Structure formats: structure tokens, C-alpha cells
Amino acid sequence: MGDTTTPDYSVLVCGSGCAAQVVTALVSQRYRAFALSLVADEAQKWAATLGSGEFVLLAKGTKISSRPAKITSDPSVAREADVIILIVQAQEQSEYLEQLAPHLKFGAMVGVMPARSGGDLLFATKLGDKAKDAVFVGFETLPWACQWPRGAWGCKAEILGVKEQVLAGVTPASQTQRALRTFQEIFGESPKIVGSPSSLGISLRNPGMVVHPCVMYGRWGPESGWDGKPVKQKPLFYHGVDDLTEKILQGTSDEVQAICRRMERVVRGLSLKDACSLKQFFVDSYTGLMSDTSTLRACMNTNRNYAGLEHPCKGEAGSFMPNLQHRYLAEDVPTGLCFAKGLAEILDVPTPTMDKVLLWAQGCLGLEFMFCGKMQGRDIDKTRAPQGMGICTLEHFIQVARLRSNLTRPSGLAALALCCSG
């Protein structure tokens, strides 16, 4: 982290998974840090495991020892924090924000890693009036690949790798430079935190919301030819992408791009450049790891990082069934694909490919997000779709997403005209 003077921040890390424990250890080296877990007795378990000792973090041959000032299950600890870092599963983010909301300091910065799609909307709706006095920083991904050595939960972890850079969107946009500088100071020289022009760009960039449900649909959906019977081997996930799956992936990616272009027309000055096409995402993210980048399918089939990765399945050797409750559907559909579909509906952008994947996925999950072609199913409140947060009009979306900040936008009628034009 260097020898520069440490700013006087108090930092709260939310979560008790491996990444959350790693961040707590890193932050505790230089700041007054707290750890919060709302999961059952995990805070108590973590505190007991650590005892009076220090958490040991192994990284690139170095050994770091530190301990947080407090490990607790009481969300009122947020009153002491200038910066809050939320590192929990997407489905848990809502509960944490609700519990933290009454205790946030004025002007507190809340970083969510990863934010998934619609993280800024969730932040605004859960914090209510407090959101206008707080800063949301949505990170596209976790910067670290890490693991616990066997039996080391709560007392030791290892960083396997650090990404060179991570994109982050800030709401309100006027706080971007201050927020990026703050988090860079907290995390140190790497990864480099790069600002995205808007949180919406991070939401629509989300590759998991396209890749995971679409590849699952391509292999197990109604067009795949699968007969519903067990298969002898687990199919390859990325390297198994075929012509049908590529068509589904490309169609969904194209529909997300149509959403981006329509939104840029509606809000003048808005840039969604980071929400690139799926093929461009692979080209940008995996340079040198693919032997063929001529097509989307080739990018996925020849990516060395994906070698051997299989579809999530249940069963035993020689008799495997797909796990259609896996996070590839259970997480990436409600916290990703539903957001994109919901925004498309508000913008009147047709999404035929996205629709059939979503309808199939909700059937697999036993939930109802779409009903009669609209995002109005009985379980819509379990999603990041704008409609699930009570946002059903373009004007309301622009307001809650705070897209007016630093942007010039048309009047309501002009925006509606642009939205509905070809």
C-alpha cells in the first residue's frame, strides 16, 4: 500500500465470505475497520475463531496480519463508518441496505462489490430519503480471486490473483472523482479503479446476465433437443457453445445494445460505452487467451481460462441432470436479465430472444417475473427489474437513477417522443 499518509477513514465491511474477510484484513492494516455479518451466528463464530489473534492474509509470497476493531451482527455499527463496503451475494444486498439505512452517516460512501444490475436503483429505494445524502459506488466485479486454506475460515485466507483494473459507476455522477479517489486510497495501488460514465453502464455491461442464462437455455431449453433424460457426461459450458447457443447469446446481447442506444437518445450526454457487446467484452477482457476471436462462439470455445468448465449438474457419473436451480439462473436472472428486460419494457424496446430465455428460466425456478408479456408477475418484487421497485415510467427511472446529474436531458414529452421513435 506504500508509505503515504493514511486518510482518517473508518471503514465497515459487510459480509463474511472469503472475499469479505480478505477485504476486512486488507482494510484493517491502515484504517479503523469493522466487520458486519447479518447471517445467523456468523459474526459470533468469526469473532470466536479469531479470538485474540490476528487474521493472516497470504498474497504473492507476503504475509499480512491484522484484525478489525469489531466483528458484529449489529447494523448500528454503520454510525461509525465513513465508507461501507458491501460484499455479499446479490440476493442479500437488499437486506443489508435496509438494515444499514437508519444508521448511515451523512455523506457516507457505500461501495457494492459486485453491484450486479440495478444496484443503484436498489440503493435508492432501500435507503429512501437518505440516498440523496449518500454516495453509491457500484463495482462491476470483485477485484480479487481468493480462497481459504483448508480449515482456515475466519482466521486465514489467500489471494490468488488481483485484477489489473475494475470498473466502478458512481451515483451521483458529481461525486465520481471523490469516490474513486477514496476507494483507491483504501485498496492501494491495485487494482486500478476506473470510473464508468454512469452506474447504468455497469448495470447493462453485466456479462453474467447474458452468458449464464443463455448458455443454460441453449443446452437444456426447449430448442436444444434435450429429451429431459439424464446425460452420461456433464457438458462443457463455455467450450460447449454451439450454433443455437451462439444465436441466443448474440440475440440477447443485441437487445441489450438496443436498450443502450435508446437510453442514450433519451438522456442527452449519457454515455453507456462500457456496456459493450458480449463479443467485445470477451475481446477486451481476455486478450491473448483466445486462439480465435472471429465470432462470439469462437471467443467462448477457444478461451483457455474456460477449459474444462462444465454445466452445473446433479447426479453421479454416467447419469447427470442439469441443476436448474443453480445461481446461473437463480441469481443472474432476477438480478440481471430481469433488470434489462424491465428497462426494455419502459423504453418500448422489443426483446424476443430475452423474453423466451426469461420465460423458460422462471419456469425452472418456479417463479413468475413476466406475466402476459409484461414484467408484472407475482414474484416481480424478488428481482432488480425497475417494476419490482415500483419504477414503471421513463421519467421515474431517470429520477431514481439520478441520471439528471451533470447531464442535459429533454423534457418529459420530448423524452417520450424519442423513446417511442424508431
**Mind telling me the catalytic residues?**
212
- Residue 359 CA to residue 286 CA, distance in Å, equals 31
Return the H-helix or E-strand segment holding 211: helix 208-220
- Residue 112 CA to residue 323 CA, distance in Å, equals 28
- Residue 172 CA to residue 9 CA, distance in Å, equals 21
Distance of CA 297 to the CA centre of its chain: 24
272 and 197 in contact (C-beta within 8 Å)?
yes
Q: What is the CA radius of gyration of the chain?
A: 22
Beta pairing partners, 315: 320
135 and 183 in contact (C-beta within 8 Å)?
no
- Residue 372 CA to residue 378 CA, distance in Å, equals 12
Number of other residues whose CB lies within 10 A of the CB of residue 279: 20
Residue with cell string 418529459 = 412
* Cis amide leading into 410 (omega within 30): no
DSSP state of 231: B
Q: Is 202 exposed, middle or buried (0-12, 13-18, 19+ CB in 10 A)?
A: buried
366 and 342 in contact (C-beta within 8 Å)?
no
90: nearest Cα among 183, 4, 206: 206
